Amino acid sequence: MLKVNCTRWSHSKELLREEALKAEHIRTRERLMALYEISEGKSATLVAKETKRHPETVMKWVHHYNQEGLGALQYQRTGGRKPEMVSNSRRRTRQANPRHSGIGSNSTTGEENETNTALDIKKIRSMA
């Protein structure tokens, strides 16, 4: 059975839980809570099922902690685009490719769509 070696790092099970509750990133919280539950006697496979993770992933978290301590479980962004606000992302998409404006027909530009939408709103208001 896989064990969390808290004594190597002079940690307690409770410290794992406390660190999980105050961790900034959700993935770090998930990893630390998984270790806490394993240290409480749950199997890594059961924790994996409960967290909808692959059992090997959870086992890797335990091995990383046992070898390197708490720092090994901190979430680190490894690549890809940086997250942006949705509105800025949509605006750039419209500017780059007006066909993907998400409003109206694919054959109109973003400006035409805004005009068409404004006209539609006026029609609806005049009908009321």
Q: At 38, list the tokens.
A: 């394993």
Please write the tens of the pLDDT for every residue from 30-73.
999 999 999 999 999 999 999 999 999 999 999 999 999 888 88
- Please give the mean pLDDT across all residues of the chain: 79
Instruction: State percent of the chain over pLDDT 70.
Output: 64
pLDDT of residue 101: 47
CA distances from 29 to 16, 59, 111 (A): 10, 16, 45
Total residue length of the chain: 128
Calculate helix-pair angle for 44-51, 55-68, nearest 10 degrees. Answer: 120
pTM of the model: 0.60
Q: What is the DSSP string of 36-58?
A: HHHHTT--HHHHHHHHT--HHHH
Q: At 70, list the tokens.
A: 């708490």
Which amino acid belongs to residue 88? N
